[in-house]
Structure 1
Amino acid sequence: MKAVVEPLEGNRVKLSVEVDEQEFEQALDAAFRKMAHDVRIPGFRPGKAPRRVLEARIGADVARREAIRDSLPEFYAQAVAENDVQPIAPPEIDITAGEEAGPVVFDAVVEVMPEITVAGYEGLRVTVPGVGASGEEVTAQVERLRQQHGELKAVNRPAKDGDHVTIDLTGYRHDQPVEGLNAEDFMYEVGTGSVLPQLDDELRGAKVGDILKFNATVGDGEDATIQVLVKDVKEKELPEVTDEWAGEASEFDTVAELEADIRNRIDLVKKFQTQMALRNNVVDALVELVAVDMPEPLIGGEMERRLHNLAHRLSSQQVTMAQYLEGTGTTQEELIEQLRTEATAAVKADLALRAVAVAEGIEVTEEDLDNEIARMAERMDEKPDKVRKQLDRADQMPAVRSELRNSKALEWLIEHVEVMDEEGNPIDRADLTPESSEPHTQEES
């Protein structure tokens, strides 16, 4: 088989393919074997009639048409693979010779993966959150630990936000109790709004022995009468921040050691968060540099993939698409528009990363591929050789190579991009590397 690729306008190519008579003869044999099972010929069992008998019975032209129809997709796929063509849409095929005799010749016009250039990727600048723990963040964590070790003590005064009150709560409608709104000796922190918003308003200023009665809209959307008996009011007494308290509340002997550990843990978390933000922001900045329109087949395919993934996730949660739309307050048109926006950005990112890889000469080595297959095998709990065979059979190895190449292009960008904090100050990449993979622990963290 011979194939010639001719570039056309509109991001298309024409594959001119010629299949010689000897190679096409194999397709003819396959067509006759197939037809032998469908044609009843006296004296022969189904599938056992020889080719010459079938040819005399049904005619060589019928078998040839069948062979062309069945074999053309395979010859087209072979020509695509041998010429490194990357189709993104079904081809338009025109048979130009060989329908009656001789070599089979056909043209296949197909839209292919575009190759773009991205001007300005070398000078990308991205903004990420700062990586250092602030004094306010450390103080907030110390305060959280104090709250956990506070003691509740009864007070003889009206309740206020932050107090813990013990109440009997009864909800009823037409003298009938409302399910879920009846509790005795229920301890509630004033100001949290965790039961009913009106409850906090009524409890503020209430004293032990007060009986409160008010109407409120409850969980079923209907109004109910709520009655509350205040039985106890307590405030939380927080421990002083001393070395003695630090020793009791944590594994550290001093407040300074405790605060240093908190700072280290916040730093570590922020570094991981900033690393993720850096990757996402680099991709977003790269996408902004892509000025050309994306091919509709690529956008449509990505939309379909995302919709399939969403439907699969919803199905695993036993949620229908209609329930999802209703729950999120989204119309079908809005969902489609959202998917289109996300898909367009994803396609731009893919093509832009390919462009960076080409411009910087980034390639995927066999070692890279072996390591990726080993990681996939570990995730799948399979042997690498088995995973490789599965990828080969499914013709997925080119996709794996492409994803690896894009990943290496992204790593190149991350290494060369200018990184700034939210105040416009440069960030040293060394500050984004965690010094240890695990933070220190403390009993109450």
Structure 2
Amino acid sequence: MKSTVEHLSPTRVRINVEVPFDELKPNFDRAYRKLAQQVRIPGFRPGKAPAKVLENRLGRGVVLDEVVNEAIPAKYMEAVNAEEVRTLGRPDIEVTKIEDGDHLAFTVEVDVRPEITVPAFGELSVTVDDVEITDEEVDRQLDELRARFGTLTGANRPAEDGDFVSIDLSATVDGEDVPDASTTGLSYQVGSGELIEGIDEAIIGSSAGESKTFVSKLVAGEFAGKDADITVTVQSVKVRELPEADDEFAQMASEFDTIDELRDNLRERVSMAKKMQQGVQARDKVLEALLETTEVPLPETVVGAEVEMRAHDAVHAFDHDDAKFNEFLESQGQTREQFDADMRTEAEKAVKTQLVLDSVADAENLTVSDQELTERIIYQAQRFGVSPDEYVQRAQQSGQLGAIFADVRRGKALASIVRQATVTDASGNSVDFDALFGPVTPAEDTATENAEAEPAEAK
């Protein structure tokens, strides 16, 4: 087999492949066996008809089609590996010549990873917020803990913000009942914002047994985006009484003996959470700085596929009804053209991010261990509320296991970049990333030293 590569652009190539018929003999043998099983020829048992008989019965063209359809994918991959082409997306294949008995020729146009030169990561510099902990934040954490041990008691008064109510809901659009928006005996905390817009204002000031009607836009279902007349009936009003924040409560709600010890522990938790937030802010800012300083030619077909996937996900909640989706956008003050433009910008950024981080991962020879992959699978399974085994099965069926692996690897690349960048808080202090990424391992230390030695040019 002979193959050559033409570079059409920084992100696209044409691979020319020529395969002698001698190399296609195994493909011809399999084609004859397959066709022999599919046709019935008098005088021959199923699968036993000779090649010449099959060709006389079916025609040489049918055999050649079977051979070509089987051979091209394998020969394409053979050429890709031989030429060390790093492909992206689906190839466009064209058979250019079939010289029966001599050779098969075809061309493949496919997107490829562009060459990317990333800056020295130590030159990236960002500033993040200080970690500041107030007494009010600690008190808020303590109140949330007390709320878990609180009791609900009936209130003989109109509902107020923060009360717990039992309500009935019904809705109509242009006089037509909306069954999906109707329910009875729904428990709700006033002011939580977990239900439809306008409901808190309707409930506040209402006593048990009172009903009020207000207008709000429905956000899902058949009438998504339409104004509905919603009636809420308050069935009961309750308040939550909290236990006193004292030593007795500390002993009941925690492993600590005193309320002061519990407060100190809550302060440490708030501090850890804020350090995590600071780390996430640093990660996002470093990535933004990296993307701004790195030129990346974008493969159009890859961007197009990303746009198509995002558009599919966007209209999925509207049963893929574009008219309903457009109505929803209008209710949000956005046109479809604006949405499509924003979506394309986001898709281009996503593809650029993937290409840059893949390049960094390649340059630093980053790998993903079985434990790291397992941890990500467990995390994702918990997010979707399924078992890890079920999540893996779904990922296998949808062909997403490779994407999970790539995502973990990109995360490791980004962590390496952030560690090497100059990150300070607003007060000028260096930021510690152990809370976000964990302590540096000896292998990571070596990779960092190698990366700092010279800028990475990855392909």
TM range (shorter): 0.5 to 0.7
Give the 3-state SS of the residue equivalent to 1:429 in structure 2.
coil
1:286·1:349 contact (CA, 8 Å) conserved in 2? no
Per the alignment, residue 117 of structure 2 pairs with 117
1:17·1:105 contact (CA, 8 Å) conserved in 2? yes
1:362·1:405 contact (CA, 8 Å) conserved in 2? no
Structure 1 residue 414: Cα displacement? 1.9
1:375-394 aligned at under 5 Å gives the runs 375=375
Per the alignment, residue 174 of structure 1 pairs with none
Aligned mates of 2:410, 2:45 — CA distance in 1: 56
1:92·1:109 contact (CA, 8 Å) conserved in 2? yes
2:279·2:433 contact (CA, 8 Å) conserved in 1? no
Aligned mates of 1:401, 1:225 — CA distance in 2: 48
Per the alignment, residue 169 of structure 1 pairs with none
Q: 1:279-305 CA deviation, whole Å, 9 max, x = no partner?
A: 333333323334445222111222333
1:357·1:409 contact (CA, 8 Å) conserved in 2? yes
How has the CA–CA distance of structure 1 residues 432 and 399 changed in structure 2, closer, same or farther, with 3 Å as cutoff?
Answer: closer
Is residue 90 of structure 1 aligned with residue 91 of structure 2?
Answer: yes
Give the 3-state SS of the residue equivalent to 1:74 in structure 2.
helix
How has the CA–CA distance of structure 1 residues 273 and 68 changed in structure 2, closer, same or farther, with 3 Å as cutoff?
Answer: same
1:65·1:99 contact (CA, 8 Å) conserved in 2? no
Structure 1 residue 51: Cα displacement? 0.8
Whichever residue aligns with residue 32 of structure 1, its letter is: Y
1:229-268 aligned at under 5 Å gives the runs 254-268=258-272
Q: What is the aligned length? A: 395
How has the CA–CA distance of structure 1 residues 305 and 253 changed in structure 2, closer, same or farther, with 3 Å as cutoff?
Answer: same
Whichever residue aligns with residue 49 of structure 1, its letter is: A
1:247·1:253 contact (CA, 8 Å) conserved in 2? yes
Per the alignment, residue 3 of structure 2 pairs with 3
Identity of aligned residues (%): 32
Aligned mates of 1:144, 1:373 — CA distance in 2: 34
Give the 3-state SS of the residue equivalent to 1:44 in structure 2.
coil
How has the CA–CA distance of structure 1 residues 377 and 189 changed in structure 2, closer, same or farther, with 3 Å as cutoff?
Answer: closer
Per the alignment, residue 319 of structure 2 pairs with 320
Aligned mates of 1:39, 1:214 — CA distance in 2: 75
Per the alignment, residue 288 of structure 1 pairs with 292
Per the alignment, residue 99 of structure 1 pairs with 99
Q: 1:63-98 CA deviation, whole Å, 9 max, x = no partner?
A: 3355334422332233224433233342243535x5
1:32-51 aligned at under 5 Å gives the runs 32-36=32-36, 41-45=41-45, 47-51=47-51
Aligned mates of 1:12, 1:163 — CA distance in 2: 59
Aligned mates of 2:96, 2:72 — CA distance in 1: 9
Structure 1 residue 372: Cα displacement? 4.5
How has the CA–CA distance of structure 1 residues 346 and 321 changed in structure 2, closer, same or farther, with 3 Å as cutoff?
Answer: same
The structure having more radius of gyration, on CA atoms, is 1
Q: Which moved more, 1:216-225 or 1:27-36?
A: 216-225
1:21·1:103 contact (CA, 8 Å) conserved in 2? yes
Q: Can you give the 5+ residue segments of structure 1 that lack an aligned partner in the other structure?
A: 167-178, 183-187, 204-212, 228-233, 436-445
Which of residues 363, 366, 375 in structure 1 aligns to 2:365? Answer: 363
Which of residues 324, 327, 336 in structure 1 aligns to 2:340? Answer: 336
Which of residues 269, 277, 280 in structure 2 aligns to 1:276? Answer: 280
2:11·2:298 contact (CA, 8 Å) conserved in 1? no
Aligned mates of 1:292, 1:400 — CA distance in 2: 23
Per the alignment, residue 12 of structure 1 pairs with 12
2:419·2:433 contact (CA, 8 Å) conserved in 1? no
Structure 1 residue 112: Cα displacement? 1.7
Per the alignment, residue 79 of structure 1 pairs with 79
2:158·2:206 contact (CA, 8 Å) conserved in 1? no
Give the 3-state SS of the residue equivalent to 1:95 in structure 2.
strand
Structure 1 residue 350: Cα displacement? 0.8
Is residue 418 of structure 1 aligned with residue 418 of structure 2?
Answer: no
Q: 1:340-389 CA deviation, whole Å, 9 max, x = no partner?
A: 2322111111111123234xx31145xx444445557876756xxx99xx
Which of residues 284, 302, 307 in structure 1 aligns to 2:306? Answer: 302
2:41·2:49 contact (CA, 8 Å) conserved in 1? yes
Q: 1:144-203 CA deviation, whole Å, 9 max, x = no partner?
A: 678988999x9xxx9998899x9xxxxxxxxxxxx9999xxxxx999x999663775799
Give the 3-state SS of the residue equivalent to 1:90 in structure 2.
strand
Per the alignment, residue 173 of structure 2 pairs with none
1:6·1:15 contact (CA, 8 Å) conserved in 2? yes
TM-score (norm 1): 0.64
Q: Which moved more, 1:266-275 or 1:332-341?
A: 332-341
Per the alignment, residue 220 of structure 2 pairs with none
TM-score (norm 2): 0.63
Alignment root-mean-square deviation, CA: 5.6
Whichever residue aligns with residue 106 of structure 2, its letter is: F
1:274·1:432 contact (CA, 8 Å) conserved in 2? no
Per the alignment, residue 169 of structure 2 pairs with none
